[in-house]
Amino acid sequence: MDAIKTWLRRFVNGAALVVVSFAVFGVSAFQSSAQESQVTIALVVEPENLDPCDAPSDRVGKVLLGNIVERLLDRDLSTGQLKPELATSWELVDDRTWRFHLREGVEFHDGTPFNAEAAKYSIDRSMNENIACQIREKFFSDRSLEVTVVDDMTIDVATDIDDPILPLLLSAHVMHPLSVPLDENVRAGGGTGPYRFVDWRAGREIVLERNPDYWGDAPDADRVVFVWRPESTVRTAMVVNGEADLATDISFQDAQSHQEISASFPNAETTRIVYYARPPMTDPRVRAAINYAIDREGLRGTILAPGVEFAKALVRPSVNGHNPNLAIWPYKPDVARALIADAAADGVAVDREIEFIGRQGHFPNVDEFMEAVTAMLNDAGLNVRLRMVEGPQRSQMMRPPYPEEPRLFVDQHDNTLGDAVATLFHKGHSKGRSSLGNDDPYLDFLIDYATQQTGTERTWAWQRAFERLNLALVREALLYHMVGFVAIGPRIDFVPTERTRSEIRLADIKLK
């Protein structure tokens, strides 16, 4: 435990509270009157691509969603209800078919029309198993959708099972022109949004410009430049010095040091530790020990923000299916050590080296968080080796096929759809692309059953699934519902929402 206390003490008293003043990024972009309508946004990392398929990724979605590409439907965060976007209305045709009437007079950035053919093509591409597509993996997995063109501005979407919330799931699909290849991923693809992709200087910046032919209200900024800096102190200093208008994912220490420019928001992400179904994690005593070994209270307010909430489920309380009756694991390091020792006495290979995988730039202070948790797990008697990797590499590690070597991952999941279907299938079902080889027939049954229900029966079934996942199986160590911070410069008005972690709607940025 001395090592753990040393990490926490060193972090609080040391590097995290250093205030950095930077003037190393050259002449401010705002000294030129010709650039008064330009907005500069400082991100943590460079997106790996701007493929419409990867819009659910927070690294991609911050640039892409609601800016370059748009959805058929959108979910109003204040009411939880669906509202029109590129579809103006929709209705149920039969038990497994929904009809969508599309918005007329909309063009893609390449000048081609948005119509039923393009909508069908966009959905077909998302569901195409020949390419990697986070939309399919996160929201549909191995399910199928059959899209039929009814007329030029109407499509029918048929499901392979009864799915009463298909319109909600389709709000995850984004629309793109026929020029985006069906069978290969792309670096960037166009859309119908208020901004057009203009330039990408690898390692430097991404540039968007206002779409003059946009069907909706024109946004304020003519031009938006995205840059990336991994250090929270640097991103914050850029806003302080007038080199950026908005900085995302700043640490709570930087937010406290610069309260005049910082704003907090209820981050939709939930943080957990999850594992391959490989020894020694296949032993229930080891899985319980991992939960007992983590000092959740000690990490809160030191490395992580004091406002993070302990998680009982992989979704926030506002999401349909959240189970409030699940307990938060207490910090009991002695119990953790006893469980590991008991497993070792029975021949479980608890001394087997376990890679603990973290994502670079995943959230503020992630390096210090990973180091502290590694110390806690090793203190419990496990043999854990920390390894930090880039986002695309970690994503690939969490997809099949899975190697025989044991691995733990720190994972974050955001559910802004409002229903557990967007969480439990791909994270919990044996056919889910992020189940990490874990398999339980009863959990599969609960997930399949809940998917086809409505009302209180749907909520009940999701809650039973979370009980199975976290109480009976102990498949993960739930940690926190996160809180986020941004730095906002004096030139703009911007109010962050729970979506700000995964998308920044540039139309919501108002120039003063």
At 399-408, the pLDDT tens digits run 889 999 999 9
Mean pLDDT estimate for the chain: 92
Tell me what pLDDT residue 279 has. 97
- When mean pLDDT is compared across 19-33, 287-301, 355-369, the lowest value belongs to 19-33
pLDDT tens across 13-27, in order? 444 434 344 333 443
pLDDT band at 8 (very low <50, low <70, confident <90, very high): low
pLDDT band at 267 (very low <50, low <70, confident <90, very high): confident
Is pLDDT at 34 greater than 80 in this prediction? no
pLDDT band at 377 (very low <50, low <70, confident <90, very high): very high
Is pLDDT at 90 greater than 60 in this prediction? yes
Contacts with 176 (C-beta within 8 Å, 6 or more apart), sequence order: 52, 69, 108, 118, 122, 125, 189, 190, 191
Distance in angstroms (rounded) separating the CA atoms of residues 208 and 512: 20
For 154, 267, 272, 343, 352, the CA distances from 413, given in Å and listed in that order, are: 33, 10, 8, 31, 28
Model-level pTM?
0.88
pLDDT band at 79 (very low <50, low <70, confident <90, very high): confident
Please give the DSSP secondary-structure letter assigned to residue 15.
G
% of the chain exceeding 70 in pLDDT: 93
- Quickly list H helices, 380-440: 391-397, 421-428
CB atoms under 10 Å from CB of 351, counted, come to 12
**Contact predicate 321/463, CB 8 Å:** yes
Q: Give the pLDDT mean for 389-418.
A: 92
Q: Give the pLDDT mean for 438-456.
A: 95
Q: Give the pLDDT mean for 443-447.
A: 96
Count Cα neighbours of 386 within 13 Å in the Cβ-side half-sphere: 18
Is pLDDT at 196 greater than 70 in this prediction? yes
- When mean pLDDT is compared across 6-10, 76-80, 271-275, the lowest value belongs to 6-10
Q: Which residue spans within 135-221 are E strands per DSSP?
A: 145-151, 154-159, 174-175, 195-201, 205-210
Element (H, E) at 253: helix 252-257
pLDDT tens across 106-139, in order? 999 999 999 999 999 999 999 999 998 999 988 8
Tell me what pLDDT residue 137 has. 86
